[in-house]
Amino acid sequence: MSETLSVCILVASLFVDLWMFFKINTVKLELDIQLLLSLLVMGIDLIVYVNLNIFGSLVASIIEIVGFYLIYKDKIDARLVVGSILFICTIDVFGNIVSEIITFENSNLQKYGSIIVLGSIILFTNKYYLKIKNILTGKDSNILLMIFTYLLVTSELILIIPLLIKSYRSFVIFVGVIYASQVLFGVVAYWTLVRIRKRLLREHKQREVIEKQKQLQEYTDYLEKSQDDLRAFRHDYKNILNSLKVSAQEGNVQEVVQKLDKYTETTLNSKALLKYKDVNHIYIKLIKSIIISKLTELYNLDIPYNFECRNNIHNLPHHIDELDLVRIIGITFDNAIEESKALIAEKHNIRSAEVQIMVYSDGPGEFEYEIRNRIQNKKILTSQIQQRGFTTKKNHKGLGLANIKEIENKYPDMSISYTIQDGWFDFYMTIDTEDGEENE
């Protein structure tokens, strides 16, 4: 293959790499500073590749990965930038090996082998770029990045070895076999690790289901115990009242009080009886489940709380997604729990914290939810707490209330307010479809 044709193919390969990068990252190709810097990186790659000979390909790949990461890390997801460049460099090495194999000792094919491989790469990328992007940004992207890195480094080293011993032609088939085994290893490793991740995720979900079943069983036991206590109380109350009546008539008021205290302490465990108070009025399974879960967490942490739902709630407003309300309730409970734990740690007093929760509905078109909790002495603006990324917690992304804001924007008849006053943080949400229809 003539030297001119080799240079042209090399330059074309670099431009194909640049096109693949923009295609996979779905970035519009336009003349800007990023494009100029990208062309500069490609120019450096070309100089390095031509002048370093044996180590040219490996060094050029490293420059390409680092250069594109620095240029695009603030514009594109950094993980996608690195993943796409690793993928492109690995494909380049794969193309080089395939080109050498199909042109082995055949001067006619040698002229066109690289062009055929280059064209195949273009067609493959143009057809599957969205799938490639989804894989590179999926749950298993970190696994894939490690495999691509491994394949790239080992493939470059495999290509360097025969060049060092100056017997490239005699080793080309051997190299192809080794590379094929590396690719097979990468595929098997990826498949195995994905299966392991899915198994761990499945086990995690099973543990969650078991925990929820445990909480629901605990709630059922609570209802049964409360009913048994009520029956026992109804059975005994006449005898108790008669006994107290005699003591009162004899003027033993102190004895009456002591008997009442003793009965309350031994027969009625007030805290346990109030654990799920009013939850039975909620008939929406998902809402009931998340509230039971969070009340259990509060109870187990020994954080003082009060839950109130005085009337029966059978339905939500028809257009409201139950999962959206589950997210809102979950986020606000979590925030209240985290703040209560921090407050207790600061004050060294369990009574310094308190959480109050209220759920109310006056009909199928209305739903209200309020949660209040005591807070630490911090100067926080309600306008700040809804901003994405704002948080008072260490190593926390601060997305909770920003996510709630996004949910609120979905529903015109949903109104959410935040109040910080007298050491309390108050979250109040109301949904009123009837008011919304009147406003329309």
pLDDT at residue 65 greater than cutoff 60: yes
**What is the Cα–Cα distance from 213 to 420, expressed in whole angstroms?**
36
- pLDDT-derived band at 85 (thresholds 50, 70, 90) equals confident
What distance lies between CA 209 and its chain's CA centroid?
19
Q: Identify the pLDDT of residue 72.
A: 87
Averaged pLDDT for residues 53-81? 83
Give buried/exposed letters for 50-66 (b at 16+ CB in 10 A, else e): eeeeeebbbbbbbbbbe
User: What is the band of 399 on the pLDDT scale with cuts at 50, 70, 90?
Assistant: very low
According to DSSP, the residues that pair with 360 across neighbouring strands are 368
- Whether 385 has a pLDDT exceeding 50, the answer reads yes
Q: How far apart are CA 312 and CA 72, in angstroms?
A: 55
pLDDT for the residue 209: 63
Average pLDDT over residues 181-192: 71
CA separation, residue 393 to residues 169, 384, 390 (Å): 61, 14, 9
The pair of three-digit structure tokens given for residue 277, joined into one six-digit string: 């108070």
> Which residue matches tokens 């060294």?
348
CA distance 108 to 158: 26
φ, ψ at 240 (rounded to 5°)? -65, -45
Q: Taking the CB of residue 314, how many other CB atoms lie within 10 A of it? A: 11
Statement: residue 193 has pLDDT above 90: no
pLDDT band at 358 (very low <50, low <70, confident <90, very high): very high
Question: How much is the pLDDT for 265?
Answer: 56
On the question of pLDDT at 291 being above 80, the answer is yes
Q: Where is pLDDT greater, at 253 or 388? A: 253
Render 186-208 in DSSP notation, one character per residue.
HHHHHHHHHHHHHHHHHHHHHHH
Residue 385 Cα to chain centre, angstroms: 20
Q: Residue 83 corresponds to which tokens in the numbers above? A: 């993943």
Higher pLDDT, 214 or 411: 411
Q: What is the mean pLDDT of residues 296-304?
A: 89
Instruction: Give percent of the chain with pLDDT exceeding 70.
Output: 66
Distances (CA, A) of 248 to 191, 244, 387, 400, 409: 79, 6, 62, 57, 62
Confidence of residue 430 (pLDDT cuts 50, 70, 90): very high
Interval 9-40: pLDDT, tens: 778 888 888 888 888 888 877 778 888 888 89
pLDDT at 255: 65
pLDDT at 394 exceeding the cut of 50: no
Whether residue 154 contacts residue 182, with contact meaning beta carbons closer than 8 Å, is answered with yes
Q: Which of 110, 121, 98 is nearest to 12 (CA)?
A: 121
What is the rounded distance in angstroms from the CA atom of residue 440 to the CA atom of residue 53? 73
Residue 359 has pLDDT above 90, yes or no: yes
- Grouping H, G, I as helix, E, B as strand and the rest as coil, residue 100 is helix
| Least confident residue range of 91-105, 186-200, 261-275, 338-352 | 261-275
Per-residue model confidence as pLDDT tens digits over 106-148: 555 555 677 787 888 889 888 888 888 888 887 777 777 777 8
Mean pLDDT throughout 89-108?
Answer: 68
Burial degree of 338 (CB within 10 A; 0-12, 13-18, 19+): middle
Lowest mean pLDDT among 69-73, 264-268, 310-314, 363-367: 264-268
Tokens for 22, please give them: 């923009």
274 vs 303 pLDDT, higher one: 303
Mean predicted confidence (pLDDT) in 271-300: 82
The identity of residue 77, as a single letter, is D
Q: What mean pLDDT value characterizes the chain?
A: 76
Q: Report the alpha-carbon distance of residue 172 to residue 155 in Å, rounded.
A: 12
Residue 242 pLDDT exceeds 80: no
From residue 185, how far is each of 148, 154, 306, 379 by CA, in Å? Answer: 11, 12, 57, 56
Higher pLDDT, 57 or 435: 57
| DSSP state letter for 326 | H
DSSP 350: G
What is the C-alpha to C-alpha distance for residues 152 and 142, in angstroms, rounded to an integer?
15
Q: What is the mean pLDDT of residues 38-44?
A: 88
More confident residue, 275 or 280: 280
User: What is d(CA 159, CA 37) in angstroms, rounded to the nearest whole number?
Assistant: 29
Assigned token pair, 303:
């954080």
Q: Does residue 196 carry a pLDDT above 80?
A: no
